[in-house]
């Protein structure tokens, strides 16, 4: 484990903890640099455009240039803002999405904090984001921001329910809330992934597959809503609310929201991949195992973990640039009248099968 080796290296637990905790931050920052460019390129190629082409080869350094621009920008704050809340909100939103990374296992050797209530903790931590968004909307003292943040709060809170129901179903099968254990269970080949019925063979594996696919669709849909991506980007609906709760923010504070959004996108993708697609586990066994190189395995795991995460982030982008957005009441209808009942029935069926 990386934390233990840090302790051995520095002989200081606090320093080791700090370094170990900062690792996801490095990961997030690098990921965001990549993801922003990736999103622009994906959208451009979907729309018959080239996207950024000027900064570096095919615009590779575009995000860096954007970041430099954002750092230089004036930090505007309107007269009637609630100053304290206005300044705290972006930090809180980012903290919420960063905190979720603490319980996600990146490889079998690295997890920020190997707590047994990992899944529960992530759901709780990401609720902090709602508070931050509400604060931002309220403190901006702008009608559009307020409308945006109210919508965001309603949406995120509602969509947490189907997410929780699906997580509950997974917990019923696997009997653990620990993401590390969950990933460990799905080792071996891809048919051991939970979406393919989990690691144990038998008749229930086949019965589980359709139910798992339904669960996956539910959790992925609601995760889209939780990160405010199209078709659920109503809080930021630019054609209606300009840009929702972060309309009044500029410069680095805006960048914080932006960072949080992309970090969140990866976080939900990572959770989905841990829950259904084996997390960091390779689908075809490890090269390190065949070649007898133990040090290679964590790197392979990191590769698979990132690849799966980026794949689901890509799907989010793909949906964003294809679909129109729902209306606020249709969004609530979709959640309360369709997703939640289906998730309940799904939970019930899985429960019955597990008992039998």
Partner 1 sequence: MALKTEEMILNMGPQHPSTHGVLRLELELDGELINKVKPHIGYLHRCFEKHAEAMTYPQVIPYTDRMDYLASMGNELGYVIAVEKLLGIQIPERVEYIRVIMAEFQRIASHLVALGTYGADIGAMTPFLFCFRDREKILSLFEMTCGARLLYNYIWIGGVSHDLHPDFIRLAKDFVVYFRPKIKELNDLLTNNKIFIERTANVGILPAETAINYGITGPNLRGSGVKWDLRQNDSYSIYNKFDFDIPVGNGLFGTKGDCWDRYNVRVLEMEESLKIIEQALNQIPDGDVSSAIPKRIKPPVGQVYSRVENPRGDLGYFIISNGSLNPFRVKVRAPSFVSLQAMDILCRGHLVADIIAILGSIDIVLGEIDR
Q: Is residue 137 near partner 1 by the rule CB under 8 A?
A: no
Give residues with Cβ within 8 angstroms of 329, minimum separation 6.
none
Would you give the end-to-end CA distance of the chain in angstroms?
Answer: 38
Q: Is residue 49 near partner 1 by the rule CB under 8 A?
A: yes
d(CA 272, CA 265): 11
CB of 310 to partner 1, least distance (A): 21
Q: Is residue 158 near partner 1 by the rule CB under 8 A?
A: no
Q: Is residue 134 near partner 1 by the rule CB under 8 A?
A: no
Residue 284 sits at φ, ψ, to 5 deg, of -125, 35
Q: Is residue 233 near partner 1 by the rule CB under 8 A?
A: yes
The count of chain residues that interact with partner 1, using the rule CB under 8 A, is 26
Cβ–Cβ under 8 Å, residues 186 and 192: yes
Return the number of the residue (178 or 230) whose C-beta is nearest partner 1. 230
Site for partner 1 in 269-328 (CB under 8 A): 321-328
Q: Is residue 148 near partner 1 by the rule CB under 8 A?
A: no
Return the number of the residue (26 or 47) whose C-beta is nearest partner 1. 47
Q: Is residue 237 near partner 1 by the rule CB under 8 A?
A: yes
CB of 239 to partner 1, least distance (A): 4
Cβ–Cβ under 8 Å, residues 280 and 108: yes
Give residues with Cβ within 8 angstroms of 47, minimum separation 6.
321
CB of 17 to partner 1, least distance (A): 43
Residue 82 sits at φ, ψ, to 5 deg, of -85, 100
Give residues with Cβ within 8 angstroms of 82, minimum separation 6.
138, 139, 141
Return the number of the residue (200 or 322) whose C-beta is nearest partner 1. 322
| Six token digits for residue 146 | 């307020």
Q: Is residue 170 near partner 1 by the rule CB under 8 A?
A: no
Q: What is the DSSP letter of 334?
A: I
Q: Is residue 48 near partner 1 by the rule CB under 8 A?
A: yes
Q: Is residue 240 near partner 1 by the rule CB under 8 A?
A: yes
User: Which of the ranges 41-49, 81-89, 205-213, 308-316 carries the binding residues for partner 1, by CB under 8 A?
Assistant: 41-49
CB of 279 to partner 1, least distance (A): 32
Q: Is residue 143 near partner 1 by the rule CB under 8 A?
A: yes
Angle between helices 128-140 and 118-126 (to 10 degrees): 0
| Six token digits for residue 277 | 């697609």
- Of the candidate residues 128, 135, 234, 256, the single one contacting partner 1 (CB under 8 A): 234
d(CA 68, CA 70): 5
- How many Cα atoms sit within 13 Å of 335 on the Cβ side? 27
113, 124, 291 from 103: Cα distances, Å: 5, 12, 31
Q: Is residue 80 near partner 1 by the rule CB under 8 A?
A: no
- Of the candidate residues 43, 81, 114, 141, the single one contacting partner 1 (CB under 8 A): 43
Query: Residues in the site for partner 1, rule: CB under 8 A?
Result: 43, 46-49, 143, 147, 230-231, 233-234, 237-240, 242, 321-330
């Amino acid at each position: 484990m990386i934390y233990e080796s840090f302790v051995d290296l520095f002989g200081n637990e606090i320093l080791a903890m700090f370094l170990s905790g900062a690792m996801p931050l490095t990961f997030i920052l690098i990921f965001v640099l990549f993801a922003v460019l990736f999103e622009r390129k994906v959208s451009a190629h979907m729309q018959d455009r080239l996207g950024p082409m000027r900064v570096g080869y095919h615009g590779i350094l575009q995000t860096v240039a954007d970041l430099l621009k954002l750092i230089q920008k004036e930090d505007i704050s309107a007269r009637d803002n609630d100053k304290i809340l206005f300044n705290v909100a972006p930090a809180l939103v980012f903290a919420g999405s960063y905190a979720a990374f603490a319980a996600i296992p990146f490889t079998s050797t690295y997890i920020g904090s190997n707590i047994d209530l990992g899944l529960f903790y992530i759901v709780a931590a990401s609720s902090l984001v709602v508070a931050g968004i509400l604060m931002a909307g309220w403190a901006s003292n702008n009608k559009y921001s307020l409308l945006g943040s109210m919508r965001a709060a309603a949406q995120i809170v509602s969509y947490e329910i189907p997410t929780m129901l699906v997580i509950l179903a997974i917990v019923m099968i696997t009997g653990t809330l620990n993401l590390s254990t969950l990933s460990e269970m799905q080792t071996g080949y891809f048919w051991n992934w939970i979406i393919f019925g989990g690691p144990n063979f038998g008749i229930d594996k086949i019965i589980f597959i359709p139910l798992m696919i339904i669960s996956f669709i539910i959790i992925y849909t609601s995760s889209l809503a939780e990160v405010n991506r199209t078709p659920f980007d109503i809080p930021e609906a630019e054609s209606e609310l300009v840009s929702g709760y972060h309309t009044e923010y500029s410069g680095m504070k805006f960048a914080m929201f932006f960072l949080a959004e992309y970090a969140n996108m990866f976080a939900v993708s990572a959770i989905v991949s841990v829950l259904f697609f084996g997390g960091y586990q390779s689908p075809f066994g490890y090269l390190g195992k065949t070649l007898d190189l133990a040090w290679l395995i964590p790197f392979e795991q990191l590769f698979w973990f990132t690849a799966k995460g980026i794949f689901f982030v890509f799907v989010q982008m793909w949906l964003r640039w294809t679909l129109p957005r729902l209306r606020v009441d249709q969004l609530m209808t979709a959640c309360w009248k369709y997703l939640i009942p289906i998730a309940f029935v799904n939970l019930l069926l899985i429960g019955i099968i597990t008992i039998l």
